[in-house]
Amino acid sequence: MTIKVDLAAPLRLADLRVAAGPVTVVFGDEVRARVATGRTFLGKALGDDRAIYGATTGFGALVGYAGRADQRDQADNTLAHLGAGQGPDLAPDVVRATLLVRAWSLARGASGVSPHVIDALAAMLGTTFTPAMPRFGSVGASGDLIPLGAAAQALRGRGHAYVDGVRMPAADALTKACLEPLPLDGRDALALVNGTSLTTAALGLALDRVRTSHRVVQTLTCLLADLLGCDPQFLDPALLAAYGHPGAIEVGHAMRAASAGLRESGTRPLQEPYSIRCAPQLLGAAEDALRYVDGVVAADLGGVSDNPLFFPADDKVVHGGNFFGQPAAFAADVLTMVIAQVGNLAERQLDLLVDPGRNGGLPPMLAAGPGQQHGLQGVQLASTALIAEIRRDSVPASLQSLPTNLHNQDVIPLGTQAALRALDQAELLRLITGSLGLGLRQAVHVGARRPTAVGCDRTLRALEEIAPIDPDRPLDSDVRRTADILEELEISLISHSYGERRDA
């Protein structure tokens, strides 16, 4: 099946996901005409001897000096000094999502970019060609200059790139992917780098993954309550309506649906520990926070991140700060807080589940033969380490502003660091949910009751694809596979729910 992304349509999180593989990027006559109009206006403005940042000037703190007279040389003037990134290459799916976001922004026609630049980005995304972009070097102000500069150079055949996952010189990669080196002038080069497309792409991908984990933890909380025989009154709709927070009301509704039919055992205390009883309030607060992040990502995906911008209808070239990634920086830091607290919840639930003093008398560590076997002991240790890693790295990046670039950039948002960190932590959260899911699967093997709720039983049956831990074995791959199963289950449930709503 051919996967298409239309640059005339709004960009969505789903588009960022599919950009990981070859994708057909299309843009029709209306978009092409809009881009051509912006490019023609750039030529007129240059002909009028207007001062245009990056086309007639130096860059950053050197804006007061003239740039190179030849616009092709000005491209080198833009990109050469940005070859200063360090660290490992970014993951290919992040790089390709970044360049899709950049193509969409340029396709608005406000950047004065040559139409062939968007053609080249579209052609690249239709192959496995992926520029090698360094992890470190962007402060999220004036755009993600250094990583996007590496991408622009790779498209020209300089630096390095990947084809079919193999790293090689960019010139060789272009040949292997049947792509031509991209010719650039000064405005084209600056337009490719002077936006926060990496920050936006990383934040969008992180949000997408955290939203899935958030739903998984709701599902696993219901399964935990069912296996233990908890009284489900902590999900009572009147209770949560009285709480008054929209997220808690929505999460409670979803959890009641997942646990419909749950029958309490009568052996549990009147009030469960907070990791069960307060789950709808905690996960509901996370939902409210995620809605804020949703709005920031939607605005970033729908906006133009560049400087200057060109408005032909008004005969204006406007210099400003649309490359300043402060909204994404705040949103990524909020996302990190959500990851940390949802991760705390899942890790505490696993701790409860392996403790015979709180799990209804199941064996310690859910070991099939305690002492002779150790069940979830290693997995719980690893989960503690994972949540500690998340918490240790949760200091807000958006508060770390410091001046650079001769105080031209005297305040900076550091959104790139915040977004990439959230993306890293989203993967750790996924592993914690996989650990909890593995524990719930093992609990039934060592004596917990079968679920009484239809939805909880469906979740357990999916988890029973994993063999019980009896005898002990290395569980690293089982944790990852459990996380995959839970994600696949959530995706299928969302698709089913969407189909029901559509049929109605």
What does the DSSP assignment read for 457-480? HHHHHHHTTSPP-SS----HHHHH
- Tell me which of 53, 162, 274, 498 is the catalytic residue: 53
List, in order, residues 6 or more apart from 119 with CB less than 8 Å away: none
3-state secondary structure of 290: helix
Compute the distance between CA of residue 333 and CA of residue 94 in angstroms, rounded to an integer. 19
User: 353 burial class (0-12, 13-18, 19+ CB within 10 angstroms)?
Assistant: buried
Compute the distance between CA of residue 231 and CA of residue 367 in angstroms, rounded to an integer. 26
Q: Do the strands 86-89 and 130-131 form a parallel or antiparallel pair, or are they unpaired?
A: unpaired
- To the query of whether residue 53 is one of the catalytic residues in this protein, the response is yes
Q: Which residue has the tokens 């993306």?
A: 423
Compute the distance between CA of residue 182 and CA of residue 471 in angstroms, rounded to an integer. 58
Look up residue 267 and give its two tokens: 């052996």
Compute the distance between CA of residue 146 and CA of residue 331 in angstroms, rounded to an integer. 22
Find out whether 387 and 432 touch, Cβ atoms under 8 Å: yes
Look up residue 132 and give its two tokens: 């090698």
Find out whether 356 and 364 touch, Cβ atoms under 8 Å: yes
Compute the distance between CA of residue 291 and CA of residue 297 in angstroms, rounded to an integer. 10
Residues with a known catalytic role: 53
